[in-house]
Structure 1
Amino acid sequence: MGDRLEAWDRPGTSGTAGDEVPGPRAYARRWVFLLVVSLLSCSNAMLWLSFAPVADTVAQHFFLSMEQVNWLSLVYLVVSIPFGMAAIWILDSVGLRGATVLGAWLNFAGSLLRAVPCLDVRIPNPFAFFMSGQSLCAVAQTLVISSPAKLAALWFPEHQRATANMIGTMSNPLGILMANVLSPALVKKAEDIPMMLGIYIVPAALACFLATACLWESVPPTPPSAGAANSTSESFFHGLKLLIQNKAYVILAICFGGGIGIFSSFSALLEQILCANGYSNEFSGLCGALFIVFGILGALLLGLYVDRTKHFTEATKIGLCLTSMTFVAFALVSQLRGQTFALAAICSLLGLFGFSVAPVVMELAVECSFPVGEGASAGLIFVLGQAEGVLIMLLLTALTVRRTGPSFSTCQQGEEPLDWTESLLLLAGLCTLLTCVLVLFFNTPYRRLEAESGGPPSSRMCAREPKIISPTQVPPLETRGLTSPAGALQETPDPASLLKGHSEWAETSSKAEAC
């Protein structure tokens, strides 16, 4: 396998002197592209949840309600619904580079706008600036969040796709981790909020500079795999139609989209849930950090595993089953006091089982929807996840009630502590329901791998002869029905007949590809 992939880095030969057929090739600059996309995604996630770990302090300093502070996180979910479909079109039509540069500038502009209320204390409505900045960053997220799957497909060879997708996808929770750690560490008192907002501008500015200066093209001159050569072979609207008609993809999108909404709500509301039961902001930040660290670790190990085995479906189903059981444990233990060790362990397991399957699911979405473009297949799941996240967050906050018993709250917003018991039980129930639906009803062939390996086509792909993808293989020239006697000397074909045979084979392959 390794020798074969190394051969892809060199032009392939057809077996005839002077008749070269370029083989798949991987370029070193693919890692630069991956670095830029990862940094941009990380910065965007930091801006998304920078307010959540210190929600009570922000509310107190700027005279905002907790509902307003929650909307600074919720706006990401709301904006992504109308702009998500446009982002899919931009990614597949304008190109990966254009979408990345546009997202980087929107992200940078939003980070600057958020800091305006800290420049002059006489600004009458700081919430408007906060919301405007967060909205720009939310639009940038729609362009960034679907990029890893497309980047992995266009720039990376088959044996590196899941790993590249894992790196790009996990940079988003890495940003959430940094926000959970940095915000409580930087904001010890209300006067520290301007410093926090200024620090978050730095990675956004760096990502904007690198995207503008270091990215030169959307696709490499030579595709790294046979699948990359057929990327985005369907038009935007026809691709969406195929996705909607694909039963396996619809089940995956709805179930994992709900998982995205659950994890988004969990990340945004974690501090408020824990402070109501006497846990400090620092401990909430620690739980959020463990949640992400173990998620990244699990994604790294799982990405390497599925790159070798291609067990996308099995890894997804097992991971989500373990996640559901852990969520039930969190819903129960988080309502008890003094359970710091247990909560830290549960949050670690949530990340290990839940976050780690995200890049695998994105690869699975591409596999079950091929030849629809990667931007559409991954982006539609993201849009559905954000829509479901809005509904889940609104439902969770609506179910909260004021505590009637003794209060041990450490929340600082000056309001009575809330009871999150019913909301958390609902969250655990939704996670379990979606997992059961996915496990019982989801099943799909890996269409992209079948197309690349020349395996039997799935029912939704056109019938064609198996495709030979080895760049050095000489097409067979034997006539059907004729066999040579055992031990007979084989006559070496002359160059003219060899060239003719290769031309006929190439013509047949091109017709099969066009179907």
Structure 2
Amino acid sequence: MQTNVLFVLYKRRWAFAIGLAILHFFAGISFASYGQISNFYVQFFNRSHAQVDWITNARNISTVFITFPLTWLIFKRSLGLRNLVLINSGCCTSGLLLVVASLTNGSLFSLIFIGQMLCGLSEALTVAVCPTFAALWFPESQVGTAIAFAFFGVYVGDCTGYVLPPYLLPITNRTFVVEERRSLEELTIGQHTLQYMYGSFLAVSAIVTLLFAIFFTDKPPTAPTKAQDLKNNKVFETRTIGEFFQLTKKLFTNISYVLTCIAIGLVMQLVILENLLLSEIIAKSHITHKTDPNIVSGRIMGVFSVFGLVGAMTVGKIIDRFKRYTILAIGATTCLLLTTIGIALSVIYKSVVGLYITNVLFGFFNASEVVFLEMASQLTYPIDETLVNTWLTGIQTTVGLLLGVFGRLFFSLWGSLGLLSFQSACMVLCILLSCLISPRNRRLEVDSEIENPPGVDTPLITSR
């Protein structure tokens, strides 16, 4: 006798997605709001440019070290999606609190460093949480859109971080050289302005954390798809350390999964090179003389973020429609390589217009990260998505940390063209990795009939 199971969609899934998008916004802020005004931090904290780079790079450090214990707790089922989200939002709030505190005095550089480590841990968890949340709460026809929607926040956060701080900081020196000096009055005004900016972000983050603590659950009461229902109904026995290593071995002997992790690290983190160094590239290459290089680079990176958002939503819809992950990944990464070469040519010919156009394309095709995120879940089904995406996050943030370090090294040794050549080489590697990833889609192989009949949405907030 066949039993008919009704798969349910909950309206509250969109409220949760908005909350995750807000956390992504703060992740974007923690990434983007330092590089364009690095000269201010160099002077305020009395540090070198290489040391100030670590305000941005620090966001990847905590993730590298927390990945192993985090995956163990997830494997033991001691840490579900709800707890991950609460740790995520709590780290974001704590990190922003330390950033605000560090701006009270120029001697508190260590506080902003620790705050960035916490914000980075929050960002890493958000990257891991979003695909897991999408797979647990959304039907297959909306998973790509749900991931892209959550990533809406990071692009808006990036854009805000790139554009807002350069406009907020007053500058009376209009020579626009690389090592511009601000007066004591300008430093004080900038210090208070940044405190107000980060303080407002801190207040919103605290509210989101409180709402998640009240309403968020590990999974919906009724699964949205047949694939998820089958996995939710599986009986899990007590898990041992041996089984953990066996499952981890299974993940890392899946060559396509490992290649996906590295590829998404290259795609998601490559922008760190422009974030850290674009204003210095513009100043040292004398691309503009009439406008502050910080403002110009902020505008360019802001354009990158806006079209990254457009690209993410577009790619999310395309994935939901066609499910051709490998082809989409190869095409998008090839376009990223071409736009990277275009950025290098724009620097050579000192074209501000060229930098705007190439960064429009670079932002749009950077949305291939959405493809890789869904590929990871497809390739490893039915292994727990949280475990899969936590390992993925640890690998891709390690790639990002290395890119930040080597990017500054290449820039110091060979200047702008050395840096952009390194960036292009990374994209060539990403294309090769995309070609080697298996096209198999395990989740899609689960036979599914009409998964979500119209009219089964439930009220926004219900009891657990």
Settle same-fold status: TM greater than 0.5: yes
Q: Kindly provide the amino acid, as one letter, of the partner of residue 147 in structure 2.
A: N
Aligned to 2:353: 341
Question: Judging changes above 3 Å, is the alpha-carbon distance between structure 1 residues 116 and 370 closer, same or farther for their aligned structure 2 residues?
Answer: same
Give, in whole Å, the separation in 1 of the partners of 2:328 and 2:259.
16
- Cα deviation, 1:424-469, whole Å, max 9, x if unaligned, reads 1121122113213322x2222110010243xxxxxxxxxxxxxx77
TM-score (norm 1): 0.76
The reply to whether residue 432 of structure 1 matches residue 435 of structure 2 is no
Root-mean-square deviation (Å): 2.4
Give, in whole Å, the separation in 1 of the partners of 2:384 and 2:58.
27
Give, in whole Å, the separation in 2 of the partners of 1:442 and 1:60.
46
Question: Judging changes above 3 Å, is the alpha-carbon distance between structure 1 residues 264 and 377 closer, same or farther for their aligned structure 2 residues?
Answer: farther
Question: Judging changes above 3 Å, is the alpha-carbon distance between structure 1 residues 239 and 274 closer, same or farther for their aligned structure 2 residues?
Answer: farther
The reply to whether residue 359 of structure 1 matches residue 342 of structure 2 is no
Aligned to 2:225: 225
Aligned to 2:174: none
Aligned to 2:339: 326
The reply to whether residue 282 of structure 1 matches residue 272 of structure 2 is no
Q: Kindly provide the amino acid, as one letter, of the partner of residue 300 in structure 2.
A: C
Aligned to 2:28: 45
How far did residue 90 of structure 1 move? 5.1
Aligned to 1:33: 16
Q: How does 1:353-392 map to 2 (within 5 A)?
A: 353-354=365-366, 356-392=367-403
Give, in whole Å, the separation in 1 of the partners of 2:360 and 2:321.
26
Task: Identify which of 121, 126, 133 aligns with 2:115.
Answer: 133
Aligned to 1:503: none
The reply to whether residue 64 of structure 1 matches residue 47 of structure 2 is yes
Aligned to 2:205: 207
Q: Kindly provide the amino acid, as one letter, of the partner of residue 73 in structure 1.
A: T
Q: Kindly provide the amino acid, as one letter, of the partner of residue 65 in structure 1.
A: S
Q: Kindly provide the amino acid, as one letter, of the partner of residue 181 in structure 1.
A: V
Task: Identify which of 101, 104, 111 aligns with 2:89.
Answer: 104
- Cα deviation, 1:8-67, whole Å, max 9, x if unaligned, reads xxxxxx88xxxx744110111111111111101211221233211100122122312111
Does the CA contact (< 8 Å) of 2:376 and 2:388 recur in 1?
Answer: yes
The structure whose Rg is larger is 1
Higher relative contact order (CA 8 A, sep 6+): 2
Does the CA contact (< 8 Å) of 1:45 and 1:173 recur in 2?
Answer: yes
SS of the residue 2:258 aligns to: helix
Q: Kindly provide the amino acid, as one letter, of the partner of residue 101 in structure 1.
A: L
More helix by share: 2
Give, in whole Å, the separation in 2 of the partners of 1:396 and 1:186.
28
SS of the residue 1:319 aligns to: helix
How far did residue 135 of structure 1 move? 1.7
Q: How does 1:252-263 map to 2 (within 5 A)?
A: 252-263=260-271
Question: Judging changes above 3 Å, is the alpha-carbon distance between structure 1 residues 171 and 238 closer, same or farther for their aligned structure 2 residues?
Answer: farther
Question: Judging changes above 3 Å, is the alpha-carbon distance between structure 1 residues 186 and 68 closer, same or farther for their aligned structure 2 residues?
Answer: same
Aligned to 1:449: 444
Question: Judging changes above 3 Å, is the alpha-carbon distance between structure 1 residues 200 and 470 closer, same or farther for their aligned structure 2 residues?
Answer: closer
Does the CA contact (< 8 Å) of 1:154 and 1:223 recur in 2?
Answer: yes
Give, in whole Å, the separation in 2 of the partners of 1:470 and 1:350.
37
Give, in whole Å, the separation in 2 of the partners of 1:437 and 1:22.
40
Task: Identify which of 64, 85, 91 aligns with 2:68.
Answer: 85
How far did residue 88 of structure 1 move? 4.1
SS of the residue 2:121 aligns to: helix
The reply to whether residue 265 of structure 1 matches residue 277 of structure 2 is no
Give, in whole Å, the separation in 1 of the partners of 2:101 and 2:26.
19
How far did residue 167 of structure 1 move? 1.1
Report which stretch shifted further, 33-42 or 204-213: 204-213
Does the CA contact (< 8 Å) of 2:145 and 2:313 recur in 1?
Answer: yes
Aligned to 2:135: 153
Aligned to 1:243: 251
- Cα deviation, 1:258-295, whole Å, max 9, x if unaligned, reads 33332333333322222322341111011111111111
Question: Judging changes above 3 Å, is the alpha-carbon distance between structure 1 residues 248 and 392 closer, same or farther for their aligned structure 2 residues?
Answer: same
Give, in whole Å, the separation in 1 of the partners of 2:219 and 2:355.
45
Report which stretch shifted further, 202-211 or 104-113: 202-211
Question: Judging changes above 3 Å, is the alpha-carbon distance between structure 1 residues 398 and 471 closer, same or farther for their aligned structure 2 residues?
Answer: closer
Question: Judging changes above 3 Å, is the alpha-carbon distance between structure 1 residues 90 and 46 closer, same or farther for their aligned structure 2 residues?
Answer: farther
What is the aligned-residue identity percentage?
23
Task: Flag structure 1 segments of 5+ consecutive residues without an equivalent.
Answer: 1-13, 403-417, 454-467, 473-515
Task: Flag structure 2 segments of 5+ consecutive residues without an equivalent.
Answer: 171-185, 454-464
How far did residue 216 of structure 1 move? 3.4
Q: Kindly provide the amino acid, as one letter, of the partner of residue 266 in structure 1.
A: E
Aligned to 2:58: 75
Question: Judging changes above 3 Å, is the alpha-carbon distance between structure 1 residues 427 and 378 closer, same or farther for their aligned structure 2 residues?
Answer: same
Question: Judging changes above 3 Å, is the alpha-carbon distance between structure 1 residues 228 and 423 closer, same or farther for their aligned structure 2 residues?
Answer: same
Aligned to 2:166: 184
- Cα deviation, 1:177-202, whole Å, max 9, x if unaligned, reads 11001111212243223322331232
How many residue pairs are counted as aligned between the two chains? Answer: 420
Q: Kindly provide the amino acid, as one letter, of the partner of residue 265 in structure 2.
A: G
Question: Judging changes above 3 Å, is the alpha-carbon distance between structure 1 residues 213 and 401 closer, same or farther for their aligned structure 2 residues?
Answer: closer
Aligned to 1:501: none
Give, in whole Å, the separation in 1 of the partners of 2:50 and 2:270.
19
Does the CA contact (< 8 Å) of 1:21 and 1:471 recur in 2?
Answer: no
Does the CA contact (< 8 Å) of 1:154 and 1:220 recur in 2?
Answer: yes
Q: Kindly provide the amino acid, as one letter, of the partner of residue 33 in structure 1.
A: F
The reply to whether residue 308 of structure 1 matches residue 321 of structure 2 is yes
The reply to whether residue 216 of structure 1 matches residue 216 of structure 2 is yes
